[in-house]
Structure 1
Amino acid sequence: MSIILGISAFYHDSAACLLVDGKIIASVEEERFNRVKHSAEFPIQAIRYCLGVMNLCIDDLDAVVFYEKPFLKFERLLQTYYSFAPKGLISFLKAIPIWLDEKLFIKQKIKDGLSEIGPYNRKTLKLLFSEHHLSHAASAFYPSKFTEAAILTVDGVGEWATASIAHAQDEQITIVKEMAFPHSVGLLYSAFTYYLGFTVNSGEYKVMGLAPFGDKTSDETLTYIEKIKSQLVTIHEDGSIRLNQAYFGYATGLKMANEKKWEHLFGIPKRKRESELYQHHCNLALAAQLVLEEIVLKMAREAKRVTNSSNLCLAGGVALNCVANTKIREAGIFDNIFVQPAAGDAGGAIGAAFAVYHLYYGHKRTIEEKQHHVYLGPEIDEKDIINLNRRFNTNYSKFDSYRDLSRIVAKLICEGNVIGWFQGRMEIGPRALGNRSILADPTNPKIQELINTKIKRRESFRPFAPVITLKQAKEYFDIVGDSPYMLYTAKIKERYRKPLAENFSKLTISEKLAFIKSDFPAVTHVDYSCRVQTVSEDFNPKFFQLLLDVKEQNGHPLLLNTSFNVRGEPIVNTPEQAYTCFIRSGMDVLVIQNYLYYKDEQDDIVNKLSIDFELD
């Protein structure tokens, strides 16, 4: 038996992965335990969980592998400061002590972290390091169904590489081309994230969500695009880029962008966090998104050219940009595409483990290692639910039959209730895919604003995703293939759309949000796009059955699905966290496994419902 522990840590989205004989047994982000979103801490609790799934200790492991090589990263830091000297001296003086104390001696920090999990033999521990972009590439290829593929990885920066094209065959991965720091597509997009007033390394998806509010035909948007491509970035035909470092501060400074130069270039100041959004912000977000799509599409074409493969694997933080992913798929460059659902640094733990398993130990690939699902995190324990009920004196109904529960929940949803849905093992990656979700009726025109303001407590412009049965997805959306991990977008079918006002592009953001755009307004973005999740029976049987029961109620196997958390917090991990979130928010009903919870002691929903069917 080969047992490997993969780790990512010390930057953002720390995580652990347990790989046994080439199969992912468990994988989870540290943030789910320490409740710090995008946590960079050493993943002690994530590792403890992964080992606990098989009742293992550190000494049972054949190897522990870290997802990048710190000495190469340190080399990049020193060389960058040397190249830009004397610029960046303040940043250098702040960064070097941190590197000397924390990052350069990562081997010792990892060993110390492991010792907090339990005693082990330090002399026999095999501690290995994989390169950052190799970890990304491995996370995308080895769990895929392909025996041969092109691999495109795009993110901010690893050690030196910011993007790579690789060719994989059977167990081997060969890096064909790399783009090096400081020229980075991910950092370019993050600079816009920063300038638009969002948080770097976590707010990039907000830029993607804001972009559809921009006007593609406006002179302002077109001017922004022209200025980006003429002043900020030079885009080559193979997708490689060169960034004009005079406009950026990430290489040696403490800020992503030179604010004075950006303000002079675009004619608008940096947006203050939480301040009002105006049309010029939307247009700038759209310009950034369109430039990103152009670059990534060129990269994909180059990956096809240099590998001549029919298959593509995608990973790296930029692979979470579902709009860009959709552009690649709709372009028809490749016959098949697999995007690692944990495409960011959390997935680096998965890739590092796979890289060592195949490239270091030389094991052959097997069908067992394919990533059939993403439900790799902690599972619910019945005793935790019992303890929850005792501690909080909860009001609940327990169901012996899941089908009875599913039919009740479907009816509640169709009557306008918002449901907290907590089932089975937790998802790996940033998307809630039916086990830690908030669910609602997408036909309700008031639901989007309700969930954004009273439950999620987040910006009103952010859209929600529809989840639908795989077989019926094409009846509702112009979708090319399946989308189990919510990593593609699709326009809603013409027959479900509502005509937009003639002056729609001139409306304010709030007016655009209030405008009913389809028969499913809660999940239809302002450009008719939807970030679709498709569900098959074998992917998630319980979630699939709920969709069928919703269809019995209103004729549509379709729900609004968003992550079970409130703004600023990670997705809930335990029944107690789920219940606390439920009580403190505007959710109407909570479901944990086969328990259905309601808030008011007198509000026994099950008994009050006018049920149109007999319970089993």
Structure 2
Amino acid sequence: MPNILGIAAFYHDSAAAITIDGVIIAAAQEERFTRIKHTPDFPVHAITYCLEEAGLTIDQLDAVVFYDKPLLTFERLLQTYYAFAPKGIVSFLKSIPVWLEQKLFLKKQIRDGLKEVMKYDKKKLKLLFTEHHLSHAASTFYASPFEHAAILTVDGVGEWATATISEGKGNIITVKKELTFPHSVGLLYSAFTYYLGFTVNSGEYKLMGLAPYGNPNSEQTKKYVQQIKEHLVSIKEDGSIWLDQSYFNYATGLTMTKDSKWEQLFGLKRRSQEAELLQEHCNLAYAIQQVTEEVVVKMAAFAKAETAASHLCLAGGVALNCVANGKLLKENFFKDIYIQPASGDAGGAVGAALAAHYMYFENTREVDPQKDSMQGSYLGPYYSDKEITQVNKRYKTVSHKEDDFDTLTKTIASEIADGAIIGWFQGRMEFGPRALGNRSIIGDPSNIEMQKKLNLKIKKRESFRPFAPSVLDTDAANFFDLETASPYMTLVADVKKSAQKEIPSNYHELPLLEKLYCTRSDLQAITHLDFSARIQTVHKETNPKYWQLLQDVKEKTGKGILINTSFNVRGEPIVCNPDDAYRCFMNTEMDILVIENYIYYKKEQPDWDNKEIWTKTFKKD
């Protein structure tokens, strides 16, 4: 019965996870505790939480597993600089000293980091390392409900691999094929993220959200797709790609693209972060999204042919491209697809622990075909009345405690039906990038003004960004063309034709904001420009409280569906504890906050209208 701690750190999205006898006991990202989004720092707070949740000390661990093999990464850097020499000398001089001083001595850094958590016996510590893409593969296959599956991992880059096709059988994962650096679907997508003015490693989902604003019928969009395929990327039938490095700068430079060559190719200058979004930006976003979907579909088809598996498991940063996932689902290559909810680097902590449990310690794997082992991804900390009461005293809050939870959900359902925006804080925090009903901001998706209000007055982010629906699992098929569960908000599907509104004949020619506010469906706030939605199906078994709220909303509005966005503002990590939640509530124009059984009405709070006291600005992402 091994106790295993998995760690992801030093690149971005640091995290920790702990397993006992193969059961995931706890997992959390370091950013939630330090409030520094995407932090690469050693996850001292996340490890501390995981050990406390498991009731273990470091000396009681059978292994600590790091999700990456840094010496292989260092080998890649040296070989890459050598291959491109004398190019990249500036990047070389900046990165190599960091490696020589820090990352080559990673074992010492990990041991020193663990010392910050608690004292332990160094002689007892078993420190293991998994390859980056094996961590991704393990995070999805071992957590899945499948005994046998094809496994596709796609991201920017691990050590050498940028994508892998593997086969999972029982407790063994076998790598069948891999794509290697510098040829990478993830880095190609990140290059466009950078060129269109978003931040690499955090802005890719903005690019995905911008793509539907592109005009699929315009000659410019078609030309962009053609130019990408003719000049930037060659796509093979098995989904492998070759990138023309004369257009890219990430291998040895400090930026993603050779801007002058891209400007010459597309006739479009690189957009600065806050510059106005023009139609050509939207068209370029649409073009790279189409190319990415084509590559992912080809990779999946090849994975099917290589493994003859009926099921597919996905992980890696590109697996968070839920539009591509939805396209893949429609292809019907597989009976079912499982996507690790924390598919990015944070999920590597879970994968590292599970890989050690099954492949190093050679434990037998038992699968429940009815459910995965991520427990709804509610693997973070829970806060009791004690912590809530402390917040109430600290800020002199005005709250109403409702001990009967059924009464509470009925009260909040009525407020939602009347147009209120609610901060909803319940139970254990979610692990991964999505808020799934425990750290969420929610409202009525049929409210025509909801998307605009949420973006500008609550989230304080770009107006074009879409919102997702949470829907009762039994009602999802009434609203969406989706025949499978989507508990982790990892799939996109179309809104039912019956709910769609007729759009103007010149819809695709309209300016961005006019297009955004054009009435598209009965569920306007969660219907994206292309009539799609990123769906979370809510199940009583994994989240009974959120499920009950949706049932009560259905009684009030006739629809068991809510708009659901993460409980934070732009640049801020999702709230973790009651203090985070109250301060975010007061920093925005949310109407009501619910923390467990406590209800807070904004206008009853002290200094609720004094914006200067509560305003906090985070670094824009």
Q: Structure 1 residues 303, 416: closer, same or farther in 2, change over 3 A?
A: same
Any residues of structure 2 matched to 1:204-215 within 5 Å, and which? 204-215=204-215
Q: Which residue of 2 aligns with 1:133?
A: 133
Cα distance in structure 2, aligned partners of 1:56 and 1:554? 47
How far is 1:370 from its partner?
2.4
Q: Summarize the Cα distance change of 1:472–1:337 in structure 2 as closer, same or farther, 3 Å threshold.
A: same
Alignment check: 8 A CA contact 1:395 1:599 kept:
no
- Where structure 2 has 5 or more consecutive residues not aligned to the other structure, the ranges are 607-621
For 1:515 and 1:307, locate their aligned partners in 2 and report how far apart those are by CA, in whole Å.
Answer: 46
Per-residue deviation, residues 230-276 of structure 1 (Å, max 9, x unmatched): 00000000000000000000000000000000000000000011110
- Following superposition, the deviation at residue 513 of structure 1 comes to 1.1
Aligned to 1:426: 429
Measured against aligned partners, the alpha-carbon deviations of 1:115-145 in whole angstroms (never above 9, x if no partner) come to: 0011111122100000000000000000101
Map Cα deviations across residues 499-532 of structure 1 (whole Å, 9 max, x no partner): 0111111101110111111111111111111111
Tell me the distance in 2 between the aligned counterparts of 1:59 and 1:314.
Answer: 34
The residue aligned with 1:467 is: 470
Q: Of the candidates 492, 507, 512, which is equivalent to residue 510 of structure 2?
A: 507
- Structure 2 partner of 1:593: 596
The residue that corresponds to 1:606 in the other structure is none
Q: Which residue matches 1:197? A: 197
Whole-angstrom CA distance in 1 between matches of 2:275 and 2:102: 36
Q: Which residue of 1 aligns with 2:619?
A: none
Q: Who is 1:582 aligned against? A: 585
2:458 corresponds in structure 1 to 455
SS of residue paired to 1:439: strand
Q: How many residues align?
A: 603
Kindly report which structure 2 residues correspond to 1:279-428, keeping only aligned pairs within 5 A, or say none: 279-367=279-367, 370-428=373-431
Check whether the contact 2:138–2:352 (CA below 8 A) recurs between aligned residues: yes
Counterpart CA distance in 2 for 1:410 and 1:600 is 19
Q: What corresponds to 2:446 in structure 1?
A: 443
Contact 1:589 1:598 in 2 (8 A): yes
Shift of 1:367: 4.3
Verify the 8 A CA contact 2:466 2:528 in the aligned structure 1: yes
Whole-angstrom distance in 1 between the partners of 2:501 and 2:58: 58
| Map of 2:481 onto structure 1 | 478
Q: In structure 2, the residue corresponding to 1:479 is in which secondary structure?
A: coil
Counterparts of 1:151-166 in structure 2 under 5 Å?
A: 151-166=151-166
Other-structure match for 1:241? 241
Q: Quote how far apart the aligned CAs of 1:490 are.
A: 1.1
1:171 is aligned to: 171
Contact 1:395–1:600 (CA under 8 A) maintained in structure 2: no
Partner of 1:541: 544
* Structure 1 residue 480 displacement after superposition: 2.8
* TM-score, normalised relative to structure 1: 0.97
State the secondary structure of the residue aligned to 2:122.
coil
Query: 2:503, 2:32 → 1: CA distance?
Result: 41
2:28·2:380 contact (CA, 8 Å) conserved in 1?
Answer: yes
Structure 1's 123 and 225: CA in aligned 2 closer, same or farther, altered over 3 A? same
Separation of aligned partners in 2, 1:449 and 1:37: 24
**Two-structure CA RMSD over aligned residues (Å):** 1.0
For residue 86 of structure 2, give the secondary structure of its aligned residue in structure 1: coil
**Aligned counterparts, 1:512-531, within 5 A:** 512-531=515-534
In 2, the alpha carbon distance for the partners of 1:259 and 1:162 equals 23
CA separation in 2, counterparts of 1:547 and 1:471?
Answer: 11
User: Contact conserved, 1:418 with 1:438, CA < 8 A, in 2?
Assistant: yes
Contact 1:22 1:366 in 2 (8 A): no
State how far apart, in whole Å, the 2-side matches of 1:382 and 1:319 are. Answer: 37
* Inter-partner Cα distance in structure 2 for 1:565 and 1:221: 34
Cross-structure match for 1:612: none
CA contact (8 A) 1:330 1:480 kept: no
Q: Which residue of 1 aligns with 2:611?
A: none
What amino acid does structure 1 have at the position aligned with 2:394?
R
Residues in 2 aligned to 1:460 and 1:77: alpha-carbon distance in whole angstroms:
39
Which whole-Å CA distance do the structure 1 matches of 2:295 and 2:156 have between them? 14
Q: How does 1:89-104 map to 2 (within 5 A)?
A: 89-104=89-104
Aligned: 1:532 with 2:506 = no
Partner Cα distance (1:579, 1:72) in 2: 44
Shift of 1:542: 0.6
Aligned-partner Cα distance in 1 for 2:54–2:488 = 26
Partner Cα separation in structure 1 for residue 414 and residue 530 of structure 2:
30
After superposition, what is the alpha-carbon deviation per residue over 1:59-83, rounded to whole angstroms, capped at 9, x for unaligned?
A: 0100000001000000000000000
Q: What is the DSSP-based 3-state SS (H/G/I as helix, E as strand, rest coil) of the residue aligned with 1:173? A: strand
Checking the alignment, whether the CA contact within 8 Å between 1:160 and 1:181 is kept in structure 2 is yes
Q: Provide the residue aligned with 2:613 in structure 1.
A: none
* 1:392 Cα deviation after fit: 0.9
Question: Is the Cα–Cα contact under 8 Å of residues 214 and 286 in structure 2 kept in the other structure?
Answer: yes
The whole-number CA distance in structure 1 between the counterparts of 2:535 and 2:604 is: 37
Q: State the AA in 2 paired with 1:517.
A: R
Amino acid at match of 1:540: N
SS at match of 2:474: helix
C-alpha distance in 2, partners of 1:55/1:497? Answer: 51
Kept in 2: contact 1:379–1:425 (CA 8 A): yes
Whichever residue aligns with residue 188 of structure 2, its letter is L
Please tell me whether the aligned partners of residues 150 and 165 of structure 2 are also in contact (alpha carbons under 8 angstroms): yes
Q: Report if the CA contact (8 A) 2:26-2:54 is conserved.
A: no
Q: Quick one: structure 1 residues 367 and 381, their matched pair in 2 at CA, closer, same or farther if it must change by over 3 Å? A: farther
Letter in structure 1 aligned against 2:521: S
Cα deviation code 1:149-193 (max 9, x no counterpart): 100000000000000000111001000000000000000000000
SS at match of 1:18: strand
In structure 2, what residue type is equivalent to 1:277? L
2: CA distance, partners of 1:420 / 1:483: 23
Task: Describe the SS at the equivalent of 1:597.
Answer: strand
Residue 55 of structure 1: CA displacement?
2.4
In structure 1, the residue matched to 2:56 is 56
Aligned equivalents of 1:487 and 1:505: distance in 2? 27
Partner of 2:183: 183
What is the aligned-residue identity percentage?
Answer: 58
Conserved? CA contact 2:213–2:282, under 8 Å:
yes
- Note the 1:227-266 alignment, pairs <5 A: 227-266=227-266
Find 1:572's aligned residue among 555, 559, 575: 575
- Residues in 2 aligned to 1:601 and 1:160: alpha-carbon distance in whole angstroms: 56
SS of 1:395 mapped into structure 2: coil
Aligned residue for 2:600, secondary structure, equals: strand
Residues 538-574 of structure 1 show CA distances to partners (whole Å, capped at 9, x for unaligned) of 1211111101100110100010000000000000001
Once residues 599 and 390 of structure 1 are traced to their aligned partners in structure 2, the CA distance between those partners, rounded to angstroms, is 17
- 2:562 is matched with 559
Is there any run of 5+ residues in structure 1 with no aligned partner, and where?
604-616
3-state SS of paired residue (2:430):
coil
Counterpart contact for 2:445–2:523, Cα < 8 Å = yes
Contact kept in structure 2, 1:329 and 1:480, CA below 8 Å = no
Find the counterpart in structure 1 of residue 614 from structure 2.
none
**What amino acid is aligned across from residue 415 of structure 1 in structure 2?**
D
Question: Partner amino acid for 2:503?
Answer: L
Could you say what secondary structure the match of 2:441 adopts?
Answer: strand
SS at match of 2:432: coil
Partner residue, 2:37: 37
Q: Does 1:14 align with 2:4?
A: no
Shift of 1:601: 3.0
